[in-house]
Structure 1
Amino acid sequence: TYSLGSELQEIMDSPLAEKTNKLKKQLKKLDNVTLHIAVTGSTGAGKSSFINAIRGLKPDDVNAAPTGVTETTMTLTVYAHPTMPNVKLWDLPGTGSPKFKAKKYLKEVKLDTFDFFIIISSERFKENDVMLAKAIKEKKKLFYFLRSKIDNDIQAESQRKDFDEQKVLSHIREDCHRNLKDIDNPKPKIFLISSFELHKYDFQTLVDTLEKQLPAHKRDALILSLPIYSSKILDEKIELFMKQTWSAAVASGSIAVAPVPGLSMACDAAILLAFFTKCYYAFGLNDESIDKLSVRVNNPSLKSVRKSPLVIAIGQKKLSNKELSALTNREAAVKFAWSMVPVVGSKKTAEMSYSATLTLLRAGVQDLADTAKEVLKVAGLTDVY
């Protein structure tokens, strides 16, 4: 079972006349929400690698942010998420100039555009980073310090006889805090990350922190945009889609189109396909995501794990009555509900159709989730990026 969350529960408790419109708006809300993430720091700190990692891209992928390039301009570059175009990451100009002026910088990059700032350094944080953080804080915007390229530090230190990974990480964290001692109330959190190994170090802690501090709709957009780097993020995405089934059931079940066999009330298959397709990409089941994972774990058989007719149909961009009907086999209760519905058009029909469509949607999300979990299992990974 999945809890609805306070906002959806409030909608479900509304009078029937209001419920449909509110749920339709709720469904569109997640599609239309914008999330603007500013990424800043000195040249060479790993900004581009971080932007690519969040978008699930490698440096040589189409539309990837160029890495290893000398910064020569003072312009912003925006990178849209490949499957969620309303989520945008902004590569801000470097902050390393000796003449750096934080307030002028924030004015030039239009501070109000962004939901939060990521300040990245691959070494120690410098005076300009501190000035920038103070100016952002003054404007009551969220900011987070990321110490990047931790994998390089660990690799270098691992050659020592007395190597202890936790001690190395503690030392790096303490060193960063010393350089940020001028920022207090509250003391800034520092997240140690590797853009090439998101499942390690502090990236999940960063995500947990953002989930607590962002507004609910922005938080949901963030979760959906992240690559499947761990089983935990997959579980969070599954829960989010399960909550969204309430809204999708209303949107699909209340539009009068030709009925799907097995469903006694009209059910808009196009809306179902759009919903399931979002799940498909968010769960990393598309060819591109599977190919990247196959290369990473050296297992070319991962595509063959996707045996579900629903998964195959979405991959082929079609969802027929056959695939929809197949979902009903998962729960006998669906057939029972449909058998009780008399004629299209009555209030009872609409309510039963909603219930049946909701069960159908949940069965579909579960089908996709089971396939995604099986992919991770066959890859031999519980934490994966």
Structure 2
Amino acid sequence: MESQPSDINEAIEASGEVTLEQATNKAKEETDSLLNVRLDIAVTGETGSGKSSLVNALRGLKDSDEDAAPVGVTETTTEPTPYQHPTMPNVTLWDLPGIGSSNFKAKTYLKNVKFDRYDFFLIVSSGRFRENDIMLAKEIKKKKKVFYFVRSKTDLDVQFEKERKGIDKEETLSNIRRNSEEELKGIGNPKIFLVSSWDTSEFDFEKLIDTLESELPEHKQSALLQSVPVYSVAILERKVRMFQKAAWAVALASGAIAVAPVPGLSVSSDIAMVGSFFTSIYHSFGLDDKSLERLSERVNKPHLKSLKMSPLVEELIQMSSLRLGASALGVFLCSLVPVAGSAAAAAISFTTTRTVLLKGLDALAEEARKVLREAGLE
């Protein structure tokens, strides 16, 4: 390892592997995981529990948005219905029929909804958890899959208790938690999250995402974190750290391509990877026009709609293309020299691409922080 350029040694160390070949393979896997890994989330519960609204909230949508899952006081979902994330098509939320409805009895429910396709289940209730919820959780547990209980419409409960009974927010939340734990005592130690699909910055929504991220398989974690809406500075900074960690993998995958002595191959591949990386960040940080429009309406600050971040992404990609193109000749000439030249080409490509990625990430993160300040969500 000592004979290799120091940047390559650094990349190997960042990967946690021993050899350049092992590090490169891991980089390719992590890059693919960042951009392409599938995540299928099942949202279930009794009819009228708020399943569809939760599906919309997890996709960063309002119930009234054009692509939102339909909601209503009666059962609007008659079969498992997939809803792709609006900016991450590899993430799908499945709005499942209400458990206990005439076509989906609790005992045969999992078979009917094709249980194996989902990574985990969110069991939703807008009031007390009932026998069907418990039966479903036990069946999921038998099949060794993960489930979480979500108490929806918590904002309405808090408002009702305050207006009608004079009970403050913290006491109401404490009562709901205690009652929910009592209702689900047959499950063991159930994980219960109190949420509002209308305002994901309130209550346990962030705690739910934290728990899901920590308990999902590693290759699924980035898909979840990228897909959740930016509702606080804390979630934004977690996304920033995720992309910072991923930058080495994208850069090293680029370095592996640079070893091949084909004119233009490295720089064209680098530009494609950089473009995909920046586009993923742009959507994940909620800087696209639709996300800014939804944020503007939620916090009642119309001027946020006029912010246009797409020119920044285009500028970053253009500047990156110039920077990567400037290093292309050195990469190509090094790649012509057997062994040592290949390592040098990989080092040049790795260093240049990583620098470009991190600088672009910093620029987009700063814009996202400004947006949150403007929205009053610091």
Give the TM-score category using the shorter length.
Answer: 0.7 to 0.9
**TM-score, normalization: structure 2?**
0.85
Shift of 1:116: 0.9
1:246-257 maps to which residues of 2 (within 5 A)? Answer: 246-253=248-255, 254-255=257-258
Provide the C-alpha distance between the structure 2 equivalents of 1:363 and 1:72, rounded to a whole number of angstroms.
Answer: 46
Q: 1:161 to 1:61 in 2, by over 3 A?
A: closer
Aligned to 2:338: none
**What is the aligned length?**
357
**TM-score, normalization: structure 1?**
0.83
Shift of 1:230: 1.4
Aligned to 1:332: none
1:242 to 244, 248, 271: 244
Deviations 1:331-377 (A, max 9, x none): xxxx9x99998944233233133112211111111111111111111
Aligned to 2:37: 33
Q: 1:248 to 1:128 in 2, by over 3 A?
A: same
Given that residues 301 and 375 in structure 2 are in contact (C-alpha distance below 8 angstroms), is that contact kept between their aligned partners in structure 1? yes
Given that residues 100 and 106 in structure 2 are in contact (C-alpha distance below 8 angstroms), is that contact kept between their aligned partners in structure 1? no
Matched residue SS, 1:182: helix
Range that drifts further, 270-279 or 352-361: 352-361
Shift of 1:213: 1.5
Name the structure with the higher helix share.
2
Given that residues 35 and 222 in structure 1 are in contact (C-alpha distance below 8 angstroms), is that contact kept between their aligned partners in structure 2? yes
Aligned to 1:231: 233
Shift of 1:110: 1.6
1:165 to 164, 169, 182: 169
1:143 to 144, 147, 168: 147
1:357 paired to 2:357: no
Q: 1:104 to 1:160 in 2, by over 3 A?
A: closer
Q: 1:367 to 1:46 in 2, by over 3 A?
A: same
Shift of 1:199: 1.1
Q: 1:358 to 1:73 in 2, by over 3 A?
A: closer
1:175-190 maps to which residues of 2 (within 5 A)? Answer: 175-184=179-188, 187-190=189-192
1:85 paired to 2:81: no
Aligned to 1:199: 201
1:312 paired to 2:314: no
1:94-173 maps to which residues of 2 (within 5 A)? Answer: 94-97=98-101, 101-160=105-164, 162-173=166-177
Q: 1:314 to 1:257 in 2, by over 3 A?
A: farther
Shift of 1:55: 0.3
Given that residues 305 and 374 in structure 1 are in contact (C-alpha distance below 8 angstroms), is that contact kept between their aligned partners in structure 2? no
Q: 1:181 to 1:268 in 2, by over 3 A?
A: closer
Shift of 1:74: 4.0
Matched residue SS, 2:108: helix
Provide the C-alpha distance between the structure 2 equivalents of 1:302 and 1:100, rounded to a whole number of angstroms.
Answer: 44
Deviations 1:21-59 (A, max 9, x none): 431232112323111111111111110100000001112
Matched residue SS, 1:381: coil
1:53-72 maps to which residues of 2 (within 5 A)? Answer: 53-68=57-72, 70-71=74-75
Provide the C-alpha distance between the structure 2 equivalents of 1:357 and 1:202, rounded to a whole number of angstroms.
Answer: 38
Provide the C-alpha distance between the structure 2 equivalents of 1:313 and 1:232, rounded to a whole number of angstroms.
Answer: 23
Deviations 1:55-94 (A, max 9, x none): 0111222321001152266411111111111211111111
Provide the C-alpha distance between the structure 2 equivalents of 1:239 and 1:270, rounded to a whole number of angstroms.
Answer: 22
Provide the C-alpha distance between the structure 2 equivalents of 1:171 and 1:30, rounded to a whole number of angstroms.
Answer: 40
Matched residue SS, 1:199: coil
Shift of 1:96: 3.4
Aligned to 2:52: 48
Q: 1:127 to 1:12 in 2, by over 3 A?
A: closer
Deviations 1:308-351 (A, max 9, x none): xxx524268x832x465589xxxxxxx9x999989442332331
Q: 1:257 to 1:227 in 2, by over 3 A?
A: farther
Identity of aligned residues (%): 49
Task: Give RMSD over aligned pairs.
Answer: 3.0
Given that residues 47 and 101 in structure 2 are in contact (C-alpha distance below 8 angstroms), is that contact kept between their aligned partners in structure 1? no
Provide the C-alpha distance between the structure 2 equivalents of 1:116 and 1:283, rounded to a whole number of angstroms.
Answer: 24
Shift of 1:163: 2.6
Given that residues 59 and 66 in structure 1 are in contact (C-alpha distance below 8 angstroms), is that contact kept between their aligned partners in structure 2? yes
Provide the C-alpha distance between the structure 1 equivalents of 2:105 and 2:81, rounded to a whole number of angstroms.
Answer: 20
Matched residue SS, 2:302: coil
2:282 to 280, 283, 291: 280
Given that residues 161 and 167 in structure 2 are in contact (C-alpha distance below 8 angstroms), is that contact kept between their aligned partners in structure 1? yes
Aligned to 2:4: none
Aligned to 1:370: 366
What amino acid does structure 2 have at the position aligned with 1:366? Answer: D
Aligned to 2:23: 19
Q: 1:257 to 1:155 in 2, by over 3 A?
A: farther
Matched residue SS, 1:144: strand
Q: 1:10 to 1:285 in 2, by over 3 A?
A: closer
- In structure 2, list runs of 5 or more residues that go unmatched: 1-11, 336-340
